[in-house]
Structure 1
Amino acid sequence: MNISDKKQQWTNGTVAKNIARSPERKTDFTTTSNIELERCFTPDFEYPGYEENLGFPGEYPFTRGVQPTMYRGRFWTMRQYAGFGTAKESNERYKYLLAAGQTGLSVAFDLPTQMGYDSDAAMSQGEVGKVGVAIDSLADMEILFDGIPLDKVSTSMTINSTAAILLCMYIAVAEKQGVSADQISGTIQNDILKEYMARGTYIYPPKESMRIITDIFAYCKDSVPKWNTISISGYHIREAGSSAVQEVAFTLADGIAYVDAAIKAGLAVDDFAPRLAFFFNAHNNLLEEVAKFRAARRIWAKVMKERFGAKDPKSLMLRFHTQTAGCTLTAQQPDNNIMRVTIQALAAVLGGTQSLHTNSRDEALALPTEDSVRIALRTQQVIAYESGVADSIDPLAGSFLVESLTDQIEKAAMDYIDKIDSLGGAVEAISRGFQQKEIQDSAYAYQKSIEKDDLIIVGVNKFTIQEPPPTGLLKIKEEVEIFQKKALGEMKAGRDTAKVQETLQLLENAAKGTDNLMPHILNAVKAYATLGEIADVFRGVFGKHTETVVL
């Protein structure tokens, strides 16, 4: 059967079934010259290896996309990562973004929340509400989502060590709204392995952290089935200085480790793998980034099918969120960042992302203002509604350059994965500092190329101007910490202390044993135990991780 016949078979089968469930956005997709665009362009000549390496959208190996109609069915979810100060301030920003056309929420938490400390802890001083919203208890979470219907909005939460606690708070808020856990949808990042190698907001040792993660997998399979239980993140690996190949390799190696851990915990691969999601960076080199996303999809499909024997097609799909590259933003000539973000967002769309966050022009200087956030969101909307790139699936397929890059990234990434396997897997390789050393070497080489002018950064080492100090930046006032501590004290004074202690004791018993931790965390959250109190229980039982130093 030739490619044209296979395409017709795909259209009559896979596509027709999908459209019956979810029609495309319109019936005719044409250019401004009224030239009709096919749903998916394919070669009209013999193309060796087409079916094995490219195939069709929505079918193995998913190189060309995970959905049969992709953006012709609906656009990617447009998210803006937001959260600062108090829950009330962040709630106001979320309502502003939803009114501006955003289709999903993405929550940023402050460092104390990420590290399992309450706002009144000594370790939290000076950091409350600074890089995200401060969440100490269910009371804050109730304010954060006040007036936002959790059965209609998909929420992504960038949280790792304390992901289980924040997810339980979200479930409890939904229940207070009359929304059951099986109706809510969203994602927790919950990717601790990349914290050990690239970011640093870990608390517990790897083994104990992996237990919490697999408990989340098991609990959500039955109780929160629409929730993406992990967003395996290459974003921070790239932000730390990795190359595109390393981003793919180290991210997928982490994914393999999570699948291994879940299977060893007694879960069947097809029971949890369909809810795995990924999170990638979109950097400046447009064509390399497009190829990176295509290669990542193909590798993951092969790994899940051949290595883990997954049978459910959804287990083979690499679904991912993309954020434009914060590390490429410059404090010099910050308006140039608008163009950088546009190129990066375009790469993500051409590469087939499922959701997208576009960074704001002023983020190299401060948290973004509302004006900057609106421009960032409008960037996505212009690409979606005006550029035409969403009207045909995988439009760069068949480009000699893009296909060559896709193949080379796949091979180089697999070489890294094989090396990590030879070291005993991702967890063991991290403990030896392998990934950390590779990322450090890549970051050093990148910085050297800028300093030697081999790599031009517009406005930094070429085309520079004299600039006045920036004005109009968003600043978090010190009063935020005072307010948060006061509110926390009032909440503690009004709760049932005996009930809190009872739930924390049951949680400690579960942590020392083998029970799934999630029901116990949920009970503690509902009793208004604080995030710090729950994290302290785990610190007492599991201990704290000490970083592997790599020189």
Structure 2
Amino acid sequence: MSDESIKAKQTAYDAKVEKVIAKNPERKNLTYNRLYTSLDLENFDYERKLGFPGDYPYTRGVQPTMYRGRFWTMRMYAGFSTAEESNKRYRYLIESGATGLSCAFDLPTQIGYDSDDAIAEGEVGKVGVAIDSLADMEILFNGIDLGKVSTSMTINAPASVLLAMYIAVAEKQGVALEQLKGTIQNDILKEYAARGTYIFPPKPSMRLITNIFEYCSKNVPKWNTISISGYHIREAGSTASQEIAFTIADGIAYVEAAIKAGLNVDDFAGRLSFFWNAHNNVLEEVAKFRASRRIWARIMKERFSATNPKSMMLRFHTQTAGSMLTAQQPANNIVRVALQTAAAVLGGTQSLHTNSQDEALALPTEDSVRVALRTQQIVAYESGLADVVDPLAGSYFIEALTDKIEQEAMAYIEKIDELGGAVVAIEKGYIQREIQESAYKWQMEVESKQRIIVGVNQFQIQEKAAEGLLRVDSSVGELQKQKLANLRAKRDNEAVKAKLAMLEKAAGEEETNLMPVILEAVKVYATLGEICGVLRKVFGEYEAHVSL
């Protein structure tokens, strides 16, 4: 059918629609066009925009057969209380069919303080597991073969220390470092922009990140050295286009820093990974995932002259949207998570974590975690969504929306380039303001009921107080303090003092890679707080300042 013929039929269709909506008006505030046709894909270049799965620009996926040969890694984010308690949960998840672990750390661990530090009071073990030393990491993975499991660790500012602890445990288990598989989040820029668990200023933080790139490229080749995270940017209130734009801008900054440090792009870029959010709008999310792959492939090829195909592949982990969970009618969250799971799978994720229905209220119970994992397994084995590679490709709407999101994201990236890059854009408050404005707009739409949240601003019911929630006992803090006291009494404190002195000296030498030095300190049971304390002394601490 020719374009002229389609235009004529479109005109006839529009006339018919006008008569229908005169009697039955459409819903207000709908974002997209009513109908998409081939006219919306004018001059569509299949090879440039789509290609084939496993081929540049990877719009259709990074693997030729995607899930037909192997499903995505099914991770469940877990960690609470002590290493002993979290170890039990990890074993339970593995027995239930999880194929990867995803570690949550408590707030003191995330910002580099030991559990017996005054600043940690009341926060130990609350939002994740408390890890103070190699002794805790040994307990955390007791009975779990690190040569067989893939582990993701949501840790940023002290990522080098936690990775060193993981490596030390693997060595004690007799696992070759070449076998280790997993990811550290290690994305400090999004902490400055959206989340807040930073320690050091940007320059030394970027040094630590590039040190990890270099160390792992030579010693732990299967390890994903960074998970450049859009998840928290979206949780803070960004749009889908902003999520991938600001995250890819951060990715550009990391690549530039690594190249400036003397690394060859094809030596490290293949181990970069991304972390996306899966929201409720299924089709928008699918288009977002596809657009992100295409943007990254072009940037790596055209901007950084990468030649290795793996350097151009945007591989990503997905987590369903915590901000979309509701405390009201929490059972409805099972449906939301199922839709978000479908979006991630249709969009071609490499691994996935599904939130539990009760996480808007507390840490998830074992029963709710099982339902969340079963959601992934039902989508994998029963839905048929994993049976075809990129099944929505060619949809007029999906292709038009993928193009639209790509264009919007690229406009943001170009603006950030004009400002001087992601670090400068964050220091000037540009990215933060854009996120805040989007979050405010969303909230106004919810409050005015332009945006309906089932059970929250419409379809409410009278509910009883939630029962059976998981609570972390306040005694965890005291237990961790006692464990630290015992550790310091038994370890070789002279060896610890010597290794920390070596670290202080190395930190002052900008050309020195700190990973081997941190690993040596970890092995003599220097604590997280002691190591980060030395680095604080040399590097200083970051103080947020937004220029308005």
The equivalent position to 2:220 in structure 1, one of 224, 229, 233, is 224
Q: What pairs with 1:55-134 in structure 2 (closer than 5 Å)?
A: 55-134=51-130
User: Equivalent residue for 1:541?
Assistant: 538
Equivalent-residue separation in structure 2 for 1:325 and 1:304 (angstroms): 28
Q: 1:249 to 1:319 in 2, by over 3 A?
A: same
Aligned AA (1:353): T
The equivalent position to 2:238 in structure 1, one of 242, 255, 258, is 242
The equivalent position to 1:496 in structure 2, one of 483, 488, 492, is 492
**Deviation at residue 249 of structure 1 after TM alignment:** 0.2
TM score, norm. by length of structure 1? 0.91
The equivalent position to 2:185 in structure 1, one of 189, 214, 218, is 189
1:521 is the counterpart of 2:500 = no
User: Equivalent residue for 2:449?
Assistant: 453
Equivalent-residue separation in structure 2 for 1:251 and 1:48 (angstroms): 27
User: Equivalent residue for 2:460?
Assistant: 464
SS of aligned partner of 1:91: helix
User: Equivalent residue for 2:312?
Assistant: 316
Equivalent-residue separation in structure 2 for 1:359 and 1:410 (angstroms): 28
**Deviation at residue 214 of structure 1 after TM alignment:** 0.3
1:327 is the counterpart of 2:323 = yes
Equivalent-residue separation in structure 2 for 1:338 and 1:550 (angstroms): 41
**Deviation at residue 549 of structure 1 after TM alignment:** 3.5
C-alpha contact 2:427 2:547 (8 A) present in aligned 1: no
User: Equivalent residue for 2:153?
Assistant: 157
Equivalent-residue separation in structure 2 for 1:73 and 1:319 (angstroms): 17
Aligned AA (1:384): A
1:477 is the counterpart of 2:458 = no
Structure 2: segments with no counterpart, 5+ residues: 1-41
C-alpha contact 2:379 2:385 (8 A) present in aligned 1: yes
**Deviation at residue 357 of structure 1 after TM alignment:** 0.2
SS of aligned partner of 1:323: strand
SS of aligned partner of 1:218: helix
SS of aligned partner of 1:486: helix
C-alpha contact 1:322 1:348 (8 A) present in aligned 2: yes
User: Equivalent residue for 2:358?
Assistant: 362
CA RMSD of aligned residues (A): 1.1
SS of aligned partner of 1:544: coil
C-alpha contact 1:161 1:201 (8 A) present in aligned 2: yes
Q: What pairs with 1:113-512 in structure 2 (closer than 5 Å)?
A: 113-512=109-508
Aligned AA (1:263): I
* Pairs aligned (count): 507
Aligned AA (2:539): F
Equivalent-residue separation in structure 1 for 2:295 and 2:44 (angstroms): 19
Q: Could you list the per-position Cα deviations for residues 432-474 of structure 1 after superposition, in whole angstroms to 9, with x for gaps in the alignment?
A: 0000000000000000000000000000000000001000000
SS of aligned partner of 2:241: helix
Q: Which runs of 4+ in 1 moved over 4 A?
A: none
C-alpha contact 1:437 1:550 (8 A) present in aligned 2: no
Aligned AA (2:84): K
Equivalent-residue separation in structure 1 for 2:208 and 2:170 (angstroms): 22
Aligned AA (1:517): L
Equivalent-residue separation in structure 1 for 2:512 and 2:318 (angstroms): 35
SS of aligned partner of 1:314: helix
C-alpha contact 2:449 2:457 (8 A) present in aligned 1: yes
Q: Could you list the per-position Cα deviations for residues 22-75 of structure 1 after superposition, in whole angstroms to 9, with x for gaps in the alignment?
A: xxxxxxxxxxxxxxxxxxxxxxxx984101100000000000000001000100
Q: Could you list the per-position Cα deviations for residues 154-188 of structure 1 after superposition, in whole angstroms to 9, with x for gaps in the alignment?
A: 00000000100000000000000001222111000
C-alpha contact 2:288 2:405 (8 A) present in aligned 1: yes
Query: Identity, % of aligned pairs?
Result: 71
Aligned AA (1:509): K
Q: Could you list the per-position Cα deviations for residues 278-302 of structure 1 after superposition, in whole angstroms to 9, with x for gaps in the alignment?
A: 0000001100000000000000000
TM score, norm. by length of structure 2? 0.92
C-alpha contact 1:114 1:162 (8 A) present in aligned 2: yes
Aligned AA (1:234): G
C-alpha contact 2:106 2:129 (8 A) present in aligned 1: yes
User: Equivalent residue for 2:12?
Assistant: none
C-alpha contact 2:428 2:546 (8 A) present in aligned 1: no
Aligned AA (2:146): L
SS of aligned partner of 2:103: strand
Equivalent-residue separation in structure 2 for 1:380 and 1:47 (angstroms): 38
Q: Could you list the per-position Cα deviations for residues 248-303 of structure 1 after superposition, in whole angstroms to 9, with x for gaps in the alignment?
A: 10000000000000000000000000000000000011000000000000000000
Q: 1:383 to 1:550 in 2, by over 3 A?
A: farther
Equivalent-residue separation in structure 2 for 1:125 and 1:156 (angstroms): 27
User: Equivalent residue for 2:528?
Assistant: 531
Deviates more, 1:176-185 or 1:157-166: 176-185
**Deviation at residue 479 of structure 1 after TM alignment:** 1.1
Equivalent-residue separation in structure 2 for 1:241 and 1:522 (angstroms): 37
SS of aligned partner of 2:76: strand
SS of aligned partner of 1:281: strand
Equivalent-residue separation in structure 2 for 1:292 and 1:473 (angstroms): 34
C-alpha contact 2:427 2:546 (8 A) present in aligned 1: no
C-alpha contact 2:184 2:226 (8 A) present in aligned 1: yes
Equivalent-residue separation in structure 2 for 1:206 and 1:149 (angstroms): 35
User: Equivalent residue for 1:12?
Assistant: none
**Deviation at residue 550 of structure 1 after TM alignment:** 6.2
Equivalent-residue separation in structure 2 for 1:507 and 1:340 (angstroms): 47
Equivalent-residue separation in structure 2 for 1:541 and 1:180 (angstroms): 33
**Deviation at residue 402 of structure 1 after TM alignment:** 0.6
Equivalent-residue separation in structure 2 for 1:453 and 1:429 (angstroms): 33
Equivalent-residue separation in structure 1 for 2:205 and 2:160 (angstroms): 11
Equivalent-residue separation in structure 1 for 2:394 and 2:368 (angstroms): 37
Aligned AA (1:518): M
SS of aligned partner of 1:191: coil
Equivalent-residue separation in structure 2 for 1:417 and 1:277 (angstroms): 18
Equivalent-residue separation in structure 2 for 1:300 and 1:73 (angstroms): 25
Aligned AA (2:68): R
C-alpha contact 1:329 1:361 (8 A) present in aligned 2: yes
Equivalent-residue separation in structure 1 for 2:496 and 2:107 (angstroms): 24
C-alpha contact 1:323 1:359 (8 A) present in aligned 2: yes
